[in-house]
Amino acid sequence: MATTLINTNMSAVRSHNMLEKNNASMDKAMNRVNTTLKINSVQDAPSKWAVSERMRERINALNQADQNVQNDTNMMKTAEKGINDTVTMLRTIRASVLQAFDASTNDKDRYAIAKEIKSLFDQIDETAYNTRYNGKVLIADLEKTTNPTGLDYGEAHSDGTAVKLTFQIGADARSKIDVDMQNMTLKGLGLAAYTADLAKATAGIPTNSTSVILLRKADAAGSESGASGSAFLTALDAALDKALDAATDVGALEKRLGYTADNVATQIENLEASDSAIRDADMAKEISNYMKWSVASQASQYMLAQSNQNAFQVLSLLQ
């Protein structure tokens, strides 16, 4: 014979507990549908949440690395322009020297050529000092001052040392590229020693060949008293080699940065896909779950009401 309890309606208690569980499941499914995430807080899945957070930390670092690579590429394009301009000026100077060597050129012509070369010499240094990216000097190493910005402003090194750059291209400290940029000043190119000769050659219209010896390959007698002219041409050839090597190095670095950008983008894409698999909700599944728990909740409400009704029916027997 079935027992009916009135003081403690266990059927109603069980129905109420089931209603609470169904409502909680329905609320969780609704929250996932609203946020499109199946993990909304650490309590939803502690271990998976931790894995996802580490992935997001990595993604954030890689996004910054990607931005760094884009900035570094733009920086190198700036350096490339300065180097290419210098190459063009060196070629112009070399052609002018060859013109000056020719027998058809007189000393007054050499004087005009010397003035042009001196102007280009000045511009080579000017280009080197002013080829900058975000305040950073790229092809003329400058002494660090007490400038509070910490940027490399100041006077040029006397020895024409290379510019040192470090590119942070990954999410880890070791993911970097250390670069020595060619110093494109006259000192760095090995041409500074000829500035005094050019100053002498352009001091006034020459009256004899000695004031333009820098631009003469041989004197009137055909001897090599103009050896300094030949040495100047040799120095220009060496400077051109340095400048062309610098341009090649920058181009190779730009290509490497392009590959790096592709690699970083691939890492970000794959990590985001993995993070999505962990965090993102399957909307069709969550909507289905919501409907399931909604129906179950309504059923629990009905059973709770029915359990309470049964107790009232027992009490009605006493009337």
**What would the mean pLDDT of 113-122 be, rounded to a whole number?**
92
Q: Is residue 279's pLDDT more than 70?
A: yes
pLDDT for the residue 195 = 86
What type of residue sits at position 55? M
Q: Is residue 158's pLDDT more than 50?
A: no
In a domain, 32, yes or no: no
CA distance 295 to 21: 13
Q: Is residue 309's pLDDT more than 70?
A: no
Q: Write out the residue range of the structural domain in which residue 99 sits.
A: 64-263
In a domain, 299, yes or no: no
In a domain, 271, yes or no: no
- pLDDT-wise least confident of 39-43, 71-75, 175-179, 218-222: 218-222
In a domain, 172, yes or no: yes
pLDDT for the residue 231 = 85
Helix ranges (H only) for the chain are 10-35, 46-101, 107-130, 186-189, 195-201, 227-279, 283-316
In a domain, 74, yes or no: yes
204: exposed, middle or buried (C-beta count within 10 Å: 0-12, 13-18, 19+)? exposed
HSE, side-chain direction, 13 A CA sphere, residue 13: 6
**What would the mean pLDDT of 67-77 be, rounded to a whole number?**
96
| Number of domains making up the chain | 1
Q: Is residue 162's pLDDT more than 50?
A: yes
In a domain, 303, yes or no: no
CA distance 184 to 141: 9
| Token pair for 6 | 């009135």
Tell me, what CATH number does 103's domain have? Answer: 1.20.1330.10
CA distance 212 to 106: 10
Identify the residue with better confidence: 42 or 105.
105
Cβ-contact 30, 290 below 8 angstroms: yes
In a domain, 234, yes or no: yes
In a domain, 304, yes or no: no
